[in-house]
């Protein structure tokens, strides 16, 4: 990824400070000095995250026939991850130079020296081979220490026997593949079939960095779409004509800095299959149309052969330009995983994964839409937090953790009583916040900073005619509405997707 660049000065700190002060995000076990690679969500962060997840679910899962949300365990048995390739590919044998201290991947050293793949070799075998070939540190010609196994997966000892026979899942996707046969039956053997999981995944990152961008425990929202690779009609409910006006913003591998806006047809002319293009359009539409990201901050970045997993036939990252992180950073990916995963599980479990459809028998191919939820939440804060004379978090209203503030203009003359009454009525349906403290301007400012799109103020006129002012966050414009009409008014303003 060409993520080079320096963060805007103070931008990261501004967002982290906002997060901590107001209740979005802070380090796990903060009172013990934090815990590298782990972050907790406060009340606002949890609300924002939940609403992003709801939006994702509606846009990608509930909008299609035969797409469903499932939920699977975070602990998986050894064999399932052996079959998926994670046991071998997620485990690196590190060789450390005794002289300069530099670390290298043992299999890489052997491959460079012999030209043959050394993947999956045990540390002892690699040690023996390094010895045999008399390999020295490429940096300083120093000797290597005994190699060590570094596993990106967290091993677990399940049961009283206490053997390392399980791992915390490194991606949610495997949960879907393991349940493919059951769901295919339960959903009456229909293809295409989409199965989504939103849940936690775990990777023992060597150096977690940049807040919630790279964590050791993180949340994924992943959709696995199973389809017939030979069926041009997939998926039947999608049509490229839905995206006619959309210029799909793409940066190809050979010229990563050059973002082109291409039509779906132009992308297909470049050799991408139509189902892949359709999902690119759908993803971009999610960000730029639904959530309102500025198009220039959005792009697909093609990953080259050496950057993507070997089984991903086509792989574009979805990247958002984040000032706090120094440029375009990955928030999601679209991966054409072919039949790699189902075939792997068929081989290891001896369960047939092939299906009959369209008069043929085949193992379905998988298109995976994979989103990092925490990264997306961070990108919302980065993209929509404006800090000038006013500090405003210009969140899309449907994502705002607090949807409306309800204030009495003054703390006297019966205004608080009526305001409380309005608040009590609205809170049944909307996420509301009542506040009577400080000046009205200060209360507006507090709401602006946490992204509350609307504030309702009860004044003296309200007592006479049952109307209130509704103040809009970004413009500060006010309209006067009847108290009885508020639910309808707010519904129209807030339930926009």
Partner RNA sequence: GCGGGUGUAGUGUAGCCUGGUAUCACUUGAGCUUGCCAAGCUCAUAACCCGGGUUCAAAUCCCGGCGCCCGCACCA
Shortest Cβ 404–RNA spacing (Å): 14
Site membership for RNA, residue 345 (CB under 7 A): no
- Which of 6, 161, 428, 464 touches RNA (CB under 7 A)? 6
432-434: strand order across its sheet = 432-434, 404-408, 454-458, 467-472, 478-482
Site membership for RNA, residue 493 (CB under 7 A): no
Measured from the CB atom, the residue of 234 and 385 that comes closer to RNA is: 385
- Which of 372, 444, 452, 454 touches RNA (CB under 7 A)? 444
97: DSSP letter: B
**Distance between CA atoms of 495 and 484, rounded to whole angstroms?**
18
Site membership for RNA, residue 424 (CB under 7 A): no
Shortest Cβ 448–RNA spacing (Å): 7
- Which of 64, 92, 302, 321 touches RNA (CB under 7 A)? 92
**Distance between CA atoms of 174 and 6, rounded to whole angstroms?**
36
**Distance between CA atoms of 427 and 404, rounded to whole angstroms?**
9
Shortest Cβ 285–RNA spacing (Å): 26
For the chain, helix, strand, coil in percent to 5 are 35, 25, 40
The stretch near RNA (CB under 7 A) out of 54-62, 184-192, 207-215, 419-427 is 207-215
Contacts 24+ apart (CB under 8 A), 486-493: 486/422, 486/425, 486/426, 486/456, 487/425, 487/426, 487/429, 487/430, 490/403, 490/404, 490/426, 490/429, 490/430, 490/454, 491/429, 493/397, 493/453, 493/454
DSSP for 413-466? Answer: TTHHHHHHHHHHHHTTTS-EEE--SS-HHHHHHHHHHHT--EEEEE-HHHHHHS
**Distance between CA atoms of 240 and 185, rounded to whole angstroms?**
30
Site membership for RNA, residue 485 (CB under 7 A): no
Site string for RNA, 51-90 (x = CB under 7 A): ---------------------------------xxx--xx
**Distance between CA atoms of 404 and 385, rounded to whole angstroms?**
18
Site membership for RNA, residue 304 (CB under 7 A): no
Site membership for RNA, residue 34 (CB under 7 A): yes
57: DSSP letter: I
Cβ distance 379 to 429 under 8 Å?
no
Shortest Cβ 193–RNA spacing (Å): 21
The stretch near RNA (CB under 7 A) out of 285-293, 346-354, 409-417, 422-430 is 409-417
Site membership for RNA, residue 209 (CB under 7 A): yes
- Which of 161, 162, 441, 492 touches RNA (CB under 7 A)? 441
Measured from the CB atom, the residue of 47 and 208 that comes closer to RNA is: 208
- Which of 50, 270, 460, 495 touches RNA (CB under 7 A)? 460
Shortest Cβ 93–RNA spacing (Å): 11
Size of interface with RNA, in residues (CB under 7 A) = 69
How far CA 168 is from CA of 34, 204, 221, 421, 466, in Å, comes to 22, 10, 17, 48, 56
Site membership for RNA, residue 129 (CB under 7 A): no
Q: What are 188's two structure tokens? A: 């009456």
Cβ distance 121 to 129 under 8 Å?
yes
Site membership for RNA, residue 152 (CB under 7 A): yes
Measured from the CB atom, the residue of 166 and 455 that comes closer to RNA is: 455
The closest alpha carbon to 287, from 376, 403, 386, belongs to 376
The stretch near RNA (CB under 7 A) out of 14-22, 50-58, 127-135, 283-291 is 14-22
How far CA 261 is from CA of 252, 267, 365, 430, in Å, comes to 11, 10, 28, 38
Site membership for RNA, residue 391 (CB under 7 A): yes
**Distance between CA atoms of 46 and 402, rounded to whole angstroms?**
11
Measured from the CB atom, the residue of 175 and 211 that comes closer to RNA is: 211
- Which of 409, 419, 426, 450 touches RNA (CB under 7 A)? 409
- Which of 58, 352, 386, 442 touches RNA (CB under 7 A)? 442
Site membership for RNA, residue 388 (CB under 7 A): no
Site string for RNA, 167-206 (x = CB under 7 A): ---xx-------------------------------x-xx
Site membership for RNA, residue 98 (CB under 7 A): no
Site membership for RNA, residue 21 (CB under 7 A): yes
Cβ neighbors of 393 (< 8 A, separation 6 or more) are 18, 381, 384, 385, 386, 448, 449, 450, 451
The stretch near RNA (CB under 7 A) out of 5-13, 53-61, 224-232, 424-432 is 5-13
> Which spans of this chain sit near RNA (rule: CB under 7 A)?
1, 6-7, 12-13, 16-17, 20-21, 27, 32-37, 84-86, 89-90, 92, 96, 101, 103, 105, 152, 170-171, 203, 205-211, 214, 309-310, 325-326, 390-391, 409-413, 437-442, 444-446, 448-449, 457, 459-460, 468-469, 471, 476-478
């Amino acid at each position: 990824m060409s993520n080079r660049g320096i963060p805007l000065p103070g931008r990261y700190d501004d967002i982290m400070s906002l997060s901590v002060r107001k209740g979005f995000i802070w380090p796990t076990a903060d009172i013990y000095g934090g815990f590298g690679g782990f972050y907790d969500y406060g009340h606002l962060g949890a609300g924002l995250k939940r609403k992003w997840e709801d939006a994702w679910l509606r846009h990608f899962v509930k909008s299609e026939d035969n797409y469903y949300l499932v939920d699977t365990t975070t602990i998986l048995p050894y064999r399932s991850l052996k079959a998926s390739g994670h046991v071998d590919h997620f485990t690196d044998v590190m060789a450390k130079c005794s002289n300069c201290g530099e670390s290298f991947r043992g299999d890489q050293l052997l491959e460079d020296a012999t030209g043959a793949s050394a993947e999956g070799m045990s540390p002892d075998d690699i040690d023996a081979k390094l010895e045999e070939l008399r390999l020295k540190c490429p940096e300083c010609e120093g000797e290597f220490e005994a190699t060590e196994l570094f596993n990106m997966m967290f091993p677990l000892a399940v049961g009283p026997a206490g053997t390392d026979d399980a791992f915390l899942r490194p991606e949610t996707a495997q949960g879907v593949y393991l349940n493919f046969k059951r769901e295919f039956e339960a959903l009456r053997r229909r293809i295409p079939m989409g199965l989504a999981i939103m849940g936690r995944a775990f990777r023992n990152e060597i150096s977690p960095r940049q807040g919630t961008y790279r964590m050791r425990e993180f949340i994924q929202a992943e959709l696995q779409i199973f389809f017939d690779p030979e069926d041009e009609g997939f998926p039947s409910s999608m049509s490229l004509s839905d995206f006619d006006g959309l210029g799909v913003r793409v940066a190809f591998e050979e010229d990563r800095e050059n973002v082109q806006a291409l039509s779906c047809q132009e992308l297909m002319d470049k050799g991408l299959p139509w189902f892949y293009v359709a999902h690119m359009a759908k993803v971009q539409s999610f960000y730029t149309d639904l959530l309102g990201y500025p198009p220039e901050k959005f792009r697909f970045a093609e990953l080259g052969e050496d950057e993507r997993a070997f089984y991903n036939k086509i792989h574009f990252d979805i990247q958002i330009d984040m000032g706090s992180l120094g440029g375009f950073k990955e928030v999601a990916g679209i991966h054409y995983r072919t039949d790699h995963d189902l075939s792997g599980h068929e081989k290891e479990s001896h369960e047939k994964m092939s299906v009959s459809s369209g008069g043929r028998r085949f193992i379905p191919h998988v298109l995976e839409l994979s989103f990092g939820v925490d990264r997306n939440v961070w990108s919302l804060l980065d993209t929509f937090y404006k800090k000038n004379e006013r500090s405003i978090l210009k969140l899309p209203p449907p994502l705002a953790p607090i949807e409306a503030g309800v204030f009495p203009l003054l703390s006297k003359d019966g205004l608080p009583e009526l305001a409380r009454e309005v608040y009590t009525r609205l809170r049944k349906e909307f996420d509301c916040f009542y506040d009577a403290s400080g000046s009205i301007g200060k209360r507006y400012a507090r709401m602006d900073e946490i992204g509350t799109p609307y504030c309702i103020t009860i004044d003296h006129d309200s007592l006479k005619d049952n109307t209130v002012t509704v103040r809009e966050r970004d413009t500060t414009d006010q309209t006067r509405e009847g108290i009885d009409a508020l639910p309808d008014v707010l519904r129209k303003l807030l339930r926009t997707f």
